[in-house]
A and B are shown apart, each in its own frame.
Chain A
Amino acid sequence: MTLSVSDVKRIADLAYIEIDDNEAKETLTQLSGIFNLIESMQAVDTSTVEPMSHAQSVVQRLREDEVTETDQRELYQSIAPQVEAGLYLVPQVIE
């Protein structure tokens, strides 16, 4: 598989990480090496194997729909970058 600089930029865009041209070029070299390593997976036939997503085959636990947490808004917002009147502030999204 061959990656290009524009692929790297597209992935960075999907991941919401700003990347400049120089960084993209450098990243391309490193990612290409890593994907060569990963390619060795393709040598094994897995057509009859079920994917294993988890170490333990356990069923998702369910619980009663009850309130278990107390209101700690002030504590949690005390470490936020920007808050006002109990709300987290971000740049305007809707005109």
Chain B
Amino acid sequence: MFNASLKQLSIQLAGKKISSTELTSEFLQRIQQLNPEYNAFITVNEELSLAQARAADQMIAAGQASPLTGIPIAQKDIFCAKGWLTTCGSKMLSNFVSPYDAGVIERFNQAGAVNIGKTNMDEFAMGSSNETSYYGPVKNPWDHAAVPGGSSGGAACAVAARLACAATGTDTGGSIRQPAALCGISGIKPTYGLVSRYGMIAFASSLDQGGPMAKSAEDLALLLNVMVGFDPRDSTSLQREAEDYARDLQKPLAGLRIGLPKEYFAAGMSNDVASAIEKALDEYRKLGAQTVEISLPNAPLAIPVYYVLAPAEASSNLSRFDGVRYGHRAESYSDLADMYRKSRAQGFGPEVKRRILIGTYVLSHGYYDAYYIKAQKLRRLIAQDFADAYRQCDIIMGPTTPTVAFNLGEKSGDPIQMYLSDIYTSAANLTGMPAMSIPVGFGDKNRPIGLHIIGNYFKEAQMLNVAHQYQLATDWHNQSPV
């Protein structure tokens, strides 16, 4: 049951082979038993989860079920959920019980899905190892000495360790794809604007995008069908006709042109990753696809550009945390400014402060053009590179990360080394293109390796088809560490 696909579970629920209440109780028990070791969840609330499960059972009995009705899904603790503690991995929000639901949570609630708990994450989604969480690091279920990746590290761990049927994540520079790769699961960041950002605590608004994390591409398609949709409360939400993201899963891949950016197959990628990616590409060639070398000349600038734009937007977004209306307030202070300064100094961890300071600096008088505008210009060049590349290919592939999961503590003292683990992923956030990671084998110390698949705008159905066909031909996605 813990290994079942969403489709299988949906059939069992519809056929009354199992009730949502039973399914939810089994997962809650499993979380109770294993979470003390993994630390994948910040909050579990049996009462709220079971109430949703009972409501789902009633929906099923009344013949009102949809594909996710009654299925336990873990929600990243960045999504506000009414009545749930919603911390965003920060001390700043350690007392924040959300008075409202995020757009994404509303959509899952309407579908009758069960919120099985709120997953651990890097503080305010700023990190690539889950080590910046105020609630402690998460362990990689494949190797407890390794990080799960981040920022959606708890979500990736929960899916890999089978503590939830699927999970939500958010991705600002790679935060769905990098942990998915390091934990051996599948995850997709959709095209910017498809998934509502309403109630999703903002990090860098022009880059943030929610998306699903699951055991397979087929599961991701079902989750996207629920998560995607226009939300008037998000000013950048796109108004488009609804799509069925599972519609193309069965299409053969003959004739598919896969672009391989030479910049992503250069120095920096470790041998074990290179060899697993090469084997995956061989599998695609067997499936009828052809590979073509392409070039993204400005791609190496994605990290510096990202570390100007994301902190700039973060410094502005995080100014709302001032200890006045919600969140942490210092116990003693001399005046209003001192209250702000102390509350923020106490409520934010070192990485969050660092990024606020970088952002404040690049937006400050005299530096705005040299950093912020310069980065926005380079952002356009990077987007142009991708547009040019898509004239030669249908889809782009490469490694999701340069190495397998690193050890807990290995990079936590060196921000730059940490930032470089998003070297292949951040360009898709800058351009707004959809991108995903699927497991394609194991490397050093038997730790998982992810294949990065980048699509053109709104090509999620095609990407899921490409991922699903690989998963029909291989078994990596079915392997579990537990």
Contact = CB atoms under 8 A, between A and B. Distances in A.
Contacts of A80: 324-326
Contact of A58 (B236, B325, B345, B357): B236
B361 to A, nearest CB: 5
A44 B381 contact: yes
Interface in A23-47: 27, 30-31, 33-35, 37-42, 44, 46
What class of interface size applies to chain A in its complex with B?
35 or more
A58 B238 contact: yes
B407 interface: no
Contacts of A16: 319, 322, 337, 340-341, 344
B378 interface: yes
Nearest to B420: A37
Nearest to A16: B340
Contacts of B236: 54, 56, 58
Given A37-B416, A55-B206, A56-B432, A17 B308 contact: no
B303 A37 contact: yes
Contacts of A42: 370, 374
Contact of B329 (A52, A61, A82): A82
A41 B305 contact: yes
A15 interface: yes
B301 A40 contact: yes
A87 B324 CA distance: 11
**What is the predominant secondary structure among interface residues of chain A facing chain B?**
loop
A85 interface: no
B415 A30 contact: yes
Contacts of B430: 55
A91 B336 contact: yes
B383 interface: yes
B351 to A, nearest CB: 10
Interface in B369-388: 370-371, 373-381, 383
Contacts of B416: 33-34, 37
Nearest to A15: B360
Interface string B237-255: 0100000000000000000
A91 B343 CA distance: 13
Contacts of B378: 41, 44, 46, 49
A49 B380 CA distance: 8
15 contacts: A14-B364, A17-B341, A27-B354, A34-B416, A40-B304, A46-B374, A51-B379, A52-B377, A52-B379, A56-B432, A72-B99, A81-B324, A81-B326, A88-B325, A91-B339
Given A37-B304, A55-B192, 7 more contacts: A17-B344, A18-B345, A60-B235, A75-B99, A79-B99, A81-B327, A91-B333
Q: Which 6 A-B pairs have the closest CB atoms?
A: A55-B432, A51-B376, A52-B380, A46-B377, A81-B329, A18-B345
